[in-house]
Amino acid sequence: MEVDLAAEEALRNLVQGPGDVEWRYEMRRESQEILPGLLLGPFQASKNLEKLQWLKITHIVCIRDAKEAFSVKPRFLDHFQYLVLDVEDNEEQNLIRLFPGAKAFIDQAIAKGGRVLVHCNGGISLAPAFVVMFVMQHHNLAWEDALHMVQNRRYCISPNGGFLTQIKEYESIYRASKTVAAYPITQRQVSRRKRGDSDDEEDEMR
């Protein structure tokens, strides 16, 4: 029981985040650290080389509407590793199909001690949707907790209705994949035992 209470308190603290941060309107133009090594912000936050270096950013995920490609683009290719995702910022856009590539890029960067900035144009809908899915899977959270966790660090996020639906759907997808990943060895062992039992029965019948 004490373990459960401690786990619940740890989850609450994780989701709530730092309680001493006073959100100011101008902070929407900056990036915020969501997890250690993972920052979320608008395109504007990716344009200041000195600030990026001060934040020790090493990798940048640039998520943009295809119509914005002429302006929302990598600016410092000599300084950072980039992943650019061209998507449509509308409710029909399939984010779940694109997410695994983004997750792999972020995971690899953080595993090497890097720090990743994920941004879209405004840092309100597109990039936050990806970050919510990442946080959800990384910490094995329900989608509501993951959304609140990101919102409590970057208060201005508001994924559109279609993205929220996909975030909810992704919770089922990642939980199912974890369940499958936990059993393949056991299933193979059972299959081998069954084959072995069948072979023994055939030998006895000969």
Q: Which residue blocks in the chain are alpha helix, DSSP H?
A: 2-16, 49-54, 99-111, 126-138, 143-151, 161-182, 184-205
Total length of the chain: 206
Largest CA distance in the chain: 83
- Among 39, 85, 120, 150, the active-site one is 120
Active site residue 120: yes
Which pair of structure tokens corresponds to residue 112?
A: 């090497």
Report yes or no: 139 and 146 within 8 Å, Cβ to Cβ: yes
DSSP 36: T
Residue with tokens 């919510």: 132
Q: How far apart are CA 62 and CA 55, in angstroms?
A: 17
Tally helices (H) and strands (E) across the chain.
Answer: 7, 5
Helix (H, G, I), strand (E, B) or coil at 80: coil
Which pair of structure tokens corresponds to residue 42?
A: 């608008």
Which pair of structure tokens corresponds to residue 67?
A: 């119509």
Q: Which of 27, 13, 21, 41 is nearest to 149 (CA)?
A: 13
The catalytic site residues sit at 120
